A and B are shown apart, each in its own frame.
Chain A
């Protein structure tokens, strides 16, 4: 009876909820999905082209880089530019080492200060807790160019200009709001009952935090730390204003320094940029599952 109402084939596929799409429109759908694939591929090419182009440039010989029209496929690759990046007198290499020190230390500081704070915010009822958390996050929204003016004057008085320590402090403060917010998200997911149970067993508050909750948080801490590392690794505004000395400046300013002159060695720039980007891409791959929480300071969870 129902067969003349239902399109053919729907009834014998079981209940309607299990069928993906009514068969009538399947042709239309296939056509639509063809367009979708083409569109997606186009977007992908546009998005990845600059990265691929930079990689190609880093691998090209200098004469090929300036070839007109541009050589997309027909060039013989060379590693000369990468050799220059790691050469003994390369300004970029020093920048990389400084970046490792600064990004590494600031990540450690932000994590060591941030995780306990996040735990306290997660577990205790504190006075004006919400306001405190909002205040912490709002420091993250201030324009860096504005904050750098008083920090510059302050560091000049404390003779922290041109030092790695100064930059480490700034980056730690810069990463703290993020660390606290993201870690609070992770800690909220660990039931407080675990700690209460362990306190009944005779642990003190601190011990139950340290021995019960901490081990459960390690994946979250790792993800948060990687994000902090990426932020400090990529940061540019503070690094260029607080440090002018080539001995202590970080890689972003060192790379930016390569384009200062009248002629620019684009091969070296490309090779440095690619080298600089590799750790970030590796780290980003490691935390890909937490990306949503990470890029939104943990405020939005998937």
Chain B
């Protein structure tokens, strides 16, 4: 009788089962530490291999007179390349072109994008459909956009000139006239990226709490007052993020220039990116192009730092 009651092994077995069900044994060797390493390191490895390593290489090359075509080896020449880039009048001119382009394009996009978003936000019906249609330009490849516009701005059979002609204004050489070419570039970039600003602004506008307007309504606030004191302050931070994002992207503009003007006429539409490309792939002065590139990366990194700081503050606040 006592035999049946006295069963210590049974209880211990029960306890064991409670301690660790079999399932936990699987993958138990993956501790949190190992798991985080296993999950993160492949991603970081790829980024290091294709971003950091090339960048270090670029940095190294920037102190040499290496040329990819001659391929006869290289000599260390210190900071000569940097001096050459920073003192070159051509580079100064390209920097000015880029600055004009960034200010013009991003400024225009901000005004238009915000206006459109504001107009859409005041509609009730069909908002989704309208928004989706407005977004089409942004989703297209820059190459496709560039081709659209190259065709439309063509001197002989471009539709823009055709319209101007029938209105009696005469033909305009949009892409081959010194002053107009950069303007055309601004127009095309604005066409493609206004939807981006619009999208962000719209997100901000729809997020403004309704009760603020209702409160203002009770106080008989004017439309202008509501816009200035409620709408704008609440949308501005988001809009600023969109502007910074666009400015960084506009600064490195390449594809549109490549398709639309090829940097011409007379280099008036040559952005810094396009100039780097010419130095690197036509001049084949790899060392010089590397120094040039490093300087551009520095500018972008500083801009991106501001952008990220701001973003961080915004997300925490």
A69–B266 alpha-carbon span in the complex (Å): 30
A68→B155 CA distance, assembly (Å): 11
* B277 contacts A70, C-beta separation under 8 Å: no
- Knowing A36-B122, A207-B26, A296-B245, the reply to whether A269 touches B147 (Cβ < 8 A) is yes
Known: A147-B54, A207-B27, A280-B139. A66 touches B157 (CB 8 A): yes
In contact, A205 and B35 (Cβ under 8 angstroms)? yes
* Cα A230 to Cα B141 with chains together (Å): 9
Cα distance A138–B300 when bound, in Å? Answer: 9
The answer to whether A236 and B276 touch across the interface, beta carbons within 8 angstroms, is no
> In the complex the two chains form, is A113's CB within 8 Å of B141's CB?
no
Q: By the criterion CB–CB under 8 Å, are A33 and B148 in contact?
A: no
Q: Mark A194-235, 1 if CB is under 8 A from B, else 0.
A: 000000011111110100000000000000000000100111
A53 at the interface (CB under 8 A from B): yes
**Chain A interface secondary structure, helix, strand, loop or mixed?**
helix
The residue of chain A having its C-beta at the shortest distance from the C-beta of B162 within the complex is A70
From residue 113 to 144 of chain A, which have CB atoms closer than 8 A to chain B? 113-114, 116-117, 119-121, 124, 126, 130, 132, 134, 136-139, 141-144
Q: Is A22 an interface residue (CB 8 A)?
A: yes
Q: Is the CB of A68 within 8 A of B162?
A: yes
Q: How far is the CA of A39 from the CA of B118 in the complex (A)?
A: 11
The A/B interface has a contact count, at CB < 8 Å, of 298
Chain B residue nearest to A19 in the complex (CB): B217
Determine if B140 is an interface residue (Cβ-Cβ < 8 Å): yes
Q: Cβ of B39 and Cβ of A117 under 8 Å apart?
A: yes
Binary contact track B186-225/A, C-beta < 8 Å → 1, others 0: 0000010011100110010011000100100110100100
A134-B147 contact, Cβ under 8 Å, with A51-B136, A149-B289: no
A281 proximal to B (CB < 8 A): yes
Beta-carbon contacts under 8 Å, B89-116 to A: 112, 115-116
Size category, B interface = 35 or more
In the complex, residue of chain A having the shortest beta-carbon distance to the beta carbon of B194: A47
Decide yes or no whether A285 CB sits under 8 A from chain B.
Answer: yes
Q: Is A243 close to B, CB under 8 A?
A: no
Q: Does B184 contact A (CB under 8 A)?
A: no
Q: Confirm or deny: A273 has a beta carbon within 8 angstroms of a beta carbon on chain B.
A: yes
Q: Which 3 A-B pairs have the closest CB atoms?
A: A146-B293, A143-B252, A234-B141
With contacts A53-B152, A149-B58, A291-B135 known, what are 8 further pairs, Cβ within 8 A? Answer: A22-B220, A109-B46, A117-B39, A117-B42, A142-B55, A203-B23, A236-B258, A288-B128
Which residues of chain A have a CB within 8 Å of any CB of chain B?
A: 16-17, 19, 21-22, 32-33, 36, 39-40, 43-44, 47-48, 50-51, 53-54, 57, 65-70, 109, 113-114, 116-117, 119-121, 124, 126, 130, 132, 134, 136-139, 141-147, 149-154, 169-170, 172-173, 176-177, 180, 201-207, 209, 230, 233-237, 240-241, 252, 255-256, 259, 266, 269-270, 273, 276-277, 280-281, 284-285, 288, 291-292, 295-296, 299-300, 302
